[in-house]
Structure formats: C-alpha cells, structure tokens
Amino acid sequence: MQNVPELFGSMVFNDKVMRAHLPKDVYRSLKNTIQRGAPLDLEVANVVATCMKDWAVSKGATHFTHWFQPMTGVTAEKHDSFISPCGDGGVIMDFSGKELVKGEPDASSFPSGGLRATFEARGYTAWDPTSYAFIKDDTLCIPTAFCSYTGQVLDKKTPLLRSMEALSRQAVRVLALFGKDVCRVTATIGPEQEYFLINKQDYACRPDLILTGRTLVGAPAPKGQELEDHYFGSLRPRVKAFMEDLDAELWKLGILAKTEHNEVAPCQHEMAPIFATANIATDANQLTMEVMKKVADRHGFACLLHEKPFEGVNGSGKHNNWSISTDKGENLLDPGSTPAENTQFLLFLTAVIKAVDEHQDLLRISVASAGNDHRLGANEAPPAIVSVYVGDELQAVIDCLIKGTSPCHSNAPTVLDTGAVVLPNLPRDTSDRNRTSPFAFTGNKFEFRMPGSSFNIACTNVMLNTAVADALAQYADELEGSADFQKDLLALICRELAAHERILFNGNGYGEEWPVEAARRGLCNFRTTPEALVHYTDEKNVELFARHGIYTRDEIASREEILLDEYGKAIRIEALALLDLIRQQIAPACIKYSNSLAAGVSAKKALGIEAPAEAALTSQVSALTGEMLAAADRLSACVEAMPQDVTGMAQYCADTVLPAMDAVRTPADKLEQTVDRTLWPLPTYSDMLFYV
Ligand code: ADP
Ligand code: MG
C-alpha cells in the first residue's frame, strides 16, 4: 500500500488543500463561514469554485455534482460536466461560484410527504461548506442541503445542521454559567458500521436479496453462530483483502476508517471510524456504505447492509457513539477522575438523561423501519424500549444525589490483576459493559445502539441534539437568574435526576421481566414501526422542534408520512417478491421433485416392489407444496386488500401482511430441507454463510 499519510484525504478539498490553493483573504473568509457560520459572498464563492475545479481537474475529474441526502435515505447526485464552449469550437473547463453554491434538481421525484406536488417541481441544493468537497468516480462531489422552492426541508442534512446549531447555542449558554468562554459546542459521532459479505454469485441467484435486501425464505444452516467462533475471528484472506482495499478507498476520501473486525454472525463484519463532527460523520457514513458496496463487488462479494438479511442469524446495526465537545477541545461528557465533584459534567449528564426520558418516542422513531423491526427486541439488539445505562460508578453517584446522602465518593479506579506475571496489570474501567442497553454511557460518550445498519444517522442525531438542546435550554433559563449558583445548580441536578430516574436501567435488556418493569415505569414500548411513527406528530414533538427551529409542523407531518409510506411499500415489495419466488421457482421445483418421486413409486409398484418411505415422502412433499401454495394465495389476497392511506397501509402490513408472509415461509423452509438439493433453485443459508 502507498504511504498512508500521503494517501489520506488525497481526494478531498480539505483545509490543507484550501490553505495551499486559495488566496489568503478568500481562505480566511471561507474559514469564517465554516467555523462561525458567517454568510459567504458570491465573489469569494467564485474564487473558491475556480480553485476547486482546477484542483479537481488536476486529479482527473471531468464532472461535478451537488451531493445530497433526500428522504430516500440514500444519497443523490446529478452529474454535470465542467465543459463550456469557448467560441473556437473547443471547450474549456469551467465552474462558477453560482454553480458551487446553488443547484436546482427537480424536487418532485423525491419523497416529500405532501410538501411538494409534481407540478411544483422546483427544489434547491445549497452548498454546505462545513463538509469538504471530494472526488468520487472522476466527479467533484459538493455536499449540499436540499430544500423546496418555498424553503421547506426535503433532506436529512438541513435538520441535522439546524440541530447542531441549537445544541451549540444552548450548551454555550450553560457553559457561560460555569465561567467558560466558549464560542461553539459540537456534537461528535463515531458510527460503527456492521455489514455482511457473501459471494456475488450467490447474491445474483437470490432475487429476494436483490429486490428487498433480505432473504424471504431459507431454512437455517446446520451451523449458526452458536460456537461463537466468528466474533473477532481470524479473517478469511479474501475478506482481509476487501478490508484493506476498503480502508484505502475510505482514507482517500478523508474518512477515518480505524477498526475492522469479524462480528458475531458468520460472514458479518464491522468497520468503526474515528469520530468526527455530527455533520461530517453523517456524510462519511453515507459514503462508507456506498464505497463498501463498490469495493465488495471488486472482490467478488456482495455487501449486505440490510438489518436482517438472514433469519435466525444476528442482524446488523450501526452504533451511534455520541458526545459533545467545545471548540477548545473539552469533551463535556468526560467525567474526569472525580465525577461526583464535577458538577459541570453532572449537569450535562443530567441533561442527556432528561432528554432521553422525555423524548424516548423520538429516539425510537429515528430507528424505525421495516428492516430494523426484525432486530429490535429479538435478543440480538436492544429491545424496542429506550433506556439509559450509566454503569455502577455513575449509578452510585446518581443514587447519592437523588437520596441527598452526601458526600458521595466515586470509586477510585482499581487495578485488574491479570494473575500472570508476564502480563501487565490493567487499570480497570470504572464501569463494565452492558451490551443489552440501547443507550449506554461508555466512559466519555453515549453509545446509541438501536440504529439499523442501513440507516442514515442524521435523523437519530437530529433527535438527540434537539432533545439535549431543549434540556440545556431549560437549565440555562432556570440558572441564569440564580443568586446562589452552586446551591441552585446542585438542587437542580438532584431534582432532575429524581424526576428522570425511571429511564435508568442497568439490568438485562433482553430479559423477559424488563418489558413488564418498563411498562410499570411508564416507558414507551413501540414494537413496530407504524406504532412508533404515528407519534412523530404528537404535540410535544411539534412544539419541541418548533422551539428550536428544526422543523415546522408541516415538515414533521411530511416526514411521518414519508416514513410510513416507505414502510408499507417495503413490505409490499417483500410480499410480491416472495410470491414470485414461491410460484415461479420454489413450487415448480417441489412439484418436479414430487412428480419424479411419484413416477418412481408407481414404477416400483408395477414391478411389485414396495416403497412405503418413498410413497410417504411423495405425500409429504405434495402436502407441504399444497400448504405453501394455499398460503401464497392468502398472501396474494392480503396484498390486493391493502388499504390506500399510508397509515392504514403501514398498520395493515405489520398486522396482516407480515404474518401472511410467515405462513408462506414456514412450509417453504420445510420443503427446502426435504427436496432434492440438486433441484432446489436458490443458494441455501449454508451456501451463503459458510462459503470457502
Ligand atoms: P467499542 O464500542 O467497540 O468498544 P470504541 O470504544 O473503540 O468501540 O469506540 C467506538 C466508537 O466511538 C469509535 O468510532 C470512536 O471513534 C467513537 N468515539 C470515541 N470517542 C468519541 C466521542 N467523544 N464522541 C463520539 N464518538 C466517539
Ligand atoms: Mg460499540
């Protein structure tokens, strides 16, 4: 591999490149925009555009695109070349400030949830200078926000940027109370990305994977993940080659790919980057998913990002590690060595606890999708109930504060004696890990473990940032007028912790008792996506987002509608894909098999040979085939009867279509285990998960 520091960011128009290529005054005004959000004038934009284009052309780029994140969840791009006719029949490579700053894609073909009618097509993309432009496939990609002609948000980036502003504004107010002169506070995110790699040839033979991202039929392989031999296991050479190539591609794009390892399920892997600001981390994660698929293809793999590609095998998530830091580099969730005495830390911790308690519904909504419903609560990922794990040490501090028993000493870090003289003794972390918690404190950040592997993390972080901003705003309002700050501060922390104690749960989130206990505590438990989504427009949420200028009522309603619609459509596609598979591939194979069995049985009978087992097998295959086809007919009827309105359709899919699909799958999977292997039309779980 090339020299890594040289390779890193080589395709990014980053600070180093800007400093080297831009005139000093232009660089300074652009920096001012990036760091302080100062408006950028067109003259500056023109100079930046020319420099950017020259740099991109020197790297082989011929096109540019405004790269944005519409509500489809995937990124969108429309490529324009740099060419401009120059009078003598030739062309020059040209790119103006206007083209850099603003684009006009047709907004009517992206989901708008009723915000845009087809005839009101105009939409704008606007340059986001806080995320660097980069070159991908010979195209200069300019990260942009996407909104409608009337200014309503149509994308995932705009609300994220707004929520980061809101969080910064309120955190700065709170820090001022502690005598800290801070200009900006930034949410930082490290998203750990899980994925599966399977052979491309197998993928190509599975229409269900191609159309829906998951297998709609498939009997369990004889071996699953029960030996626990895959997690951190040594990498297959082909997978290792893929990971090396992936790292190199991500590094070129300035993405801080750091950790690569095998995950729990066979063929499942993870990539964790070093954290970045919420905005950059979100863009980088969107790019990471795209690059993973491309690099996989080069290595003869298909990269599966669906939350549940294989039934009975752990699905994939995306751990959203979240913290907040000041422009001076102070991590506000770092407890230091004596958290009990660190009231600033305690106040921020309390704000997060309050935020998660008051807006559990929003966090659940931010991870709701047809795919993720298969994971949450299935004993492989957190339950659908949101709770916070703080660990023993912080819990002890919190308990003291709530009870008013002081002084509360935190346990001093102890040393873990490894018991072997050749090994060094390790300082023990002050809290153990709790893998079952959806929202866990992990030393100096929170890890939100509910997002699904295919998600755009913007939405989750909009919810988190806004909810925490709201808690901080209330605290700032209360404390700004205080005559005795230390006393009032402590009283507020104790009162607030007591008020939100119910959200703290350090026990086993997979246990059967937890949903019962959670219900007793009054916590939300939205098991399915439609159950969760209808709360998006609850008055509390409309008010929250309006208070911080994140979404208007219409914008939230549009998001609720888009997500419900997407859920219903995803399940409808699954149902139709399953019907095709059954009727066109699986049933014909089963019938062929039972026909050949029947022919054999009659031939033997004619010769006076008794073949009772074969006769029984014939009946069994015929009966199961009949059961499967009858279930397919019922599923077909369900699809026909789908309600037209998005809410009705989503609820109907959850209540009626999914169970009807299960009824088809059960006999199909039994048949797979019975029918002649050479007749079975699809690669099996064994083929896909245990390739050599
Ligand atoms: P694991 O959860 O597997 O133990 P690590 O502790 O190594 O993983 O970190 C997980 C992720 O958390 C990494 O992506 C890392 O960059 C990120 N992370 C670390 N510190 C912060 C922070 N202050 N803010 C946001 N993310 C962070
Ligand atoms: Mg993790």
Rounded to whole angstroms, the Cα distance separating 228 from 568 reads 35
| 442 Cα nearest atom in ligand 1 | 6
Q: pLDDT digits over 489-503, tens only?
A: 999 999 999 999 999
Average pLDDT over residues 270-286: 97
Pocket of ligand 1 contains residue 317 by CB under 6 Å: no
Q: Does the pLDDT of residue 382 top 60, yes or no?
A: yes
Q: 412 falls in which pLDDT band (50, 70, 90)?
A: very low
Check if 172 has its Cβ closer than 6 Å to any atom of ligand 1.
Answer: no
State what percent of residues in the chain have pLDDT above 90.
79
Nearest CA to ligand 1 atom 23: 323
- List 301's β-bridge partners, or say none: 199
When mean pLDDT is compared across 169-178, 414-423, 462-471, the lowest value belongs to 414-423
Ligand nearest to the Cα of 442, by number: 1
Cis peptide bond upstream of 407, omega within 30: yes
Beta bridge pairs of residue 195: 269
Q: Whose CA is nearest to atom 17 of ligand 1?
A: 190
Architecture of domain 567-689: Up-down Bundle (1.20)
> Is the minimum distance from the CB of 445 to ligand 1 under 6 angstroms?
yes
pLDDT band at 454 (very low <50, low <70, confident <90, very high): very high
The response to whether residue 196 sits with its C-beta less than 6 Å from ligand 1 reads: no
CA of 99 to the centre of ligand 1 (A): 37
Confidence of residue 158 (pLDDT cuts 50, 70, 90): very high
Q: Is 308 in the pocket of ligand 1 (CB under 6 A)?
A: no
Mean pLDDT of 610-632: 97
Residue of higher predicted confidence among 511 and 277 = 277
Q: Is the distance from the beta carbon of residue 275 to the nearest atom of ligand 1 less than 6 Å? A: yes
CA distance linking residue 677 with residue 94, whole number of Å: 60
Ligand with smallest separation from the Cα of 445: 1
Burial class of 429 by CB neighbour count within 10 A (0 to 12, 13 to 18, 19+): middle
Residue whose CA is at the smallest distance from ligand 1 atom 5: 272
- Burial of 527 by CB count in 10 Å (0-12 exposed, 13-18 middle, 19+ buried)? middle
- CA–CA gap between residue 253 and residue 296 (Å, rounded): 17
Q: 378 exposed, middle or buried (CB, 10 Å; 0-12, 13-18, 19+)?
A: middle
Asked if residue 314 lies in contact with residue 268, where contact means CB atoms within 8 angstroms, the answer is yes
Secondary structure, 3-state, 617-663: HHHHHHHHHHHHHHHHHHHHHHHHCCCCCHHHHHHHHHHHHHHHHHH
Q: Count CB neighbours of 449 within 10 A.
A: 23
Which ligand ends up closest to the CA of 284?
Answer: 1
What mean pLDDT comes out for the span 400-409?
74
Compute the distance between CA of residue 382 and CA of residue 217 in angstroms, rounded to an integer: 25
User: 610 pLDDT exceeds 90?
Assistant: yes
User: Which two tokens mark 396?
Assistant: 């002890």
State yes or no: pLDDT of 399 exceeds 70: yes
Q: How far is the CA of 155 from the centre of ligand 2 (A)?
A: 27
Q: Using 50, 70 and 90 to split pLDDT, how confident is the model at 417?
A: very low
Q: What is the pLDDT of residue 341?
A: 80
Q: Is the CB of 449 under 6 A from ligand 1?
A: no
Ramachandran angles phi, psi of 296, nearest 5°: -55, -45
- Rg (the chain; Cα; Å): 28
**For ligand 1, what atom is nearest to the CA of residue 444?**
23
Q: What is the pLDDT of residues 568-599, one digit of tens each?
A: 999 999 999 999 999 999 999 999 999 999 99
Centre a 10 Å sphere on the Cβ of residue 572 and count the other Cβ atoms it contains: 17
Is 653 within 8 Å of 571 (Cβ atoms)? yes
* Ligand 1 pocket: which of 261, 264, 324, 445 to mutate (most atoms within 8 A of CB): 445
pLDDT at residue 492 in the model: 97
Given a cut of 70, whether residue 1 has pLDDT beyond it is no
Confidence (pLDDT) at 231: 76
The response to whether residue 357 sits with its C-beta less than 6 Å from ligand 1 reads: no
Nearest CA to ligand 1 atom 4: 442
The arithmetic mean of pLDDT across residues 232-256, rounded, is 93
What span, in angstroms and rounded, lies between the C-alpha atoms of 283 and 612?
Answer: 63
Confidence grade of residue 434 (pLDDT, cut at 50, 70, 90): confident
Average model confidence (pLDDT) for the chain?
92
Residue 147 in this model has a pLDDT that exceeds 70? yes
Asked if the model's pLDDT at residue 421 lies above 70, the reply is no
Report how far ligand 1's centroid is from the alpha carbon of 321 (Å): 6
Q: Counting Cβ atoms within 10 Å, is residue 29 exposed (0-12), middle (13-18) or buried (19+)?
A: buried
Q: Which atom of ligand 1 is nearest to the CA of 322?
A: 25
Distance 440 CA to ligand 1 centre (A): 12
Determine if ligand 1 sits within 6 Å of the CB of residue 125.
Answer: no
What tokens does 46 get?
A: 């023109």
d(CA 368, CA 351): 24
The predicted-structure confidence for 667-684, as pLDDT tens digits, reads as follows: 999 999 999 999 999 999
Q: Is the CB of 274 under 6 A from ligand 1?
A: yes
What the block records as the tokens of 276 is: 């970045």
Which pLDDT does position 153 carry in this prediction?
86
Residue 436, exposed/middle/buried by CB under 10 A (0-12, 13-18, 19+)?
A: buried
The answer, as to whether pTM is greater than 0.85, is yes
**Site of tokens 């049985």:** 601
Mean pLDDT (whole number) for 211-236 = 86
Tell me if residue 10 falls in helix, strand or coil: coil
User: Measured from the CA of 189, which atom of ligand 1 is nearest?
Assistant: 25
106 or 501, which is more confident? 501
Token representation of residue 245: 């190539």
The protein residue whose alpha carbon is closest to atom 6 in ligand 1 is 442
Confidence tier at 343 by pLDDT (50, 70, 90): very high
Q: How far apart are the CA of 285 and the centre of ligand 1, in A?
A: 14
Q: Which atom of ligand 1 is nearest to the CA of 433?
A: 4
CA–CA separation, 416 vs 393, rounded Å? 16
* Structure-token pair, residue 20: 């080297």
CA dist 148 and 366 (Å) reads 23
4-154: CATH topology? Ubiquitin-like (UB roll) (3.10.20)
CA dihedral (417, 423, 429, 431) in degrees, to 10, reads -60
Question: Over 90: is that where the pLDDT of 645 sits?
Answer: yes
Question: What tens digit of pLDDT does each residue of 166-176 get?
Answer: 999 999 999 99
In the predicted model, what is the mean pLDDT of residues 108-126?
A: 72
Instruction: Find all residues with CB under 8 Å of 220, minimum gap 6, and list them.
Output: 311, 312, 685
Mean pLDDT of all residues in 97-103 = 90
Number of Cα atoms under 13 Å in the Cβ half of residue 477: 6
Determine whether the shortest distance from the Cβ of 279 to ligand 1 is under 6 A: no
Q: Which atom of ligand 1 is nearest to the CA of 256?
A: 16
pLDDT score of 674: 97
Task: Specify the pLDDT at position 117.
Answer: 57
Kindly state the average pLDDT of the residues 125-134: 92
Rounded Cα distance, 185 and 168, in Å: 5
How much is the average pLDDT of 349-353?
98
- Cα(93)–Cα(58) distance, rounded to whole angstroms? 11
Per-residue model confidence (pLDDT) at position 426: 46
Average pLDDT over residues 533-549: 97
Q: What is the mean pLDDT of residues 297-312?
A: 97
Ligand 1 lined by 192 (C-beta under 6 Å): yes
Q: Is the distance from the beta carbon of residue 331 to the nearest atom of ligand 1 less than 6 Å?
A: yes
On the 0-12 / 13-18 / 19+ scale of CB atoms within 10 A, 599 is exposed
Tell whether ligand 1 has an atom less than 6 A from the beta carbon of residue 190: yes
Is pLDDT of 422 > 60?
Answer: no
Best residue among 250, 269, 275 to mutate for probing ligand 1, ranked by most atoms within 8 Å of CB: 275
Please report the DSSP string for 446-470 in residue order. EEE--SBTT--THHHHHHHHHHHHH
For ligand 1, mutation pick of 255, 271, 321 (most atoms within 8 Å of CB): 321
* Segment (H or E) for 440: strand 439-441
> Among 182-191, 402-411, 672-681, which stretch is predicted with the lowest mean pLDDT?
402-411
**Which of 237-251, 363-377, 390-404 is predicted with the least confidence, judged by mean pLDDT?**
390-404
Does residue 419 carry a pLDDT above 70?
Answer: no
Range with lowest mean pLDDT among 69-83, 526-540, 625-639? 69-83
The rounded distance, in Å, linking the Cα atoms of 556 and 168 is 22
Q: State if residue 323 touches ligand 1 by the CB under 6 angstroms criterion.
A: yes
Residue matched to tokens 């909504």: 365
Q: Once rounded to an integer, what is the mean pLDDT over residues 133-149?
A: 92
- Ligand 1 centroid to Cα of residue 191, in Å, is 8
CA distance 386 to 360: 6
Q: In the structure, what pLDDT confidence band is assigned to residue 16 with cuts at 50, 70 and 90? A: very high
- CB-CB contact of 427 with 415 (8 Å): yes
163-215+226-416+424-551 under CATH 3.30.590.10, yes or no:
yes
Q: Where are the domains of the chain?
A: 4-154, 163-215+226-416+424-551, 567-689
Expressed in angstroms and rounded, the spacing between residue 281 Cα and the centre of ligand 1 is: 12
Q: Could you tell me the distance, in angstroms and rounded to a whole number, from the CA of residue 333 to the centre of ligand 2? A: 17
How far does the centroid of ligand 2 lie from the alpha carbon of residue 319, in Å?
6
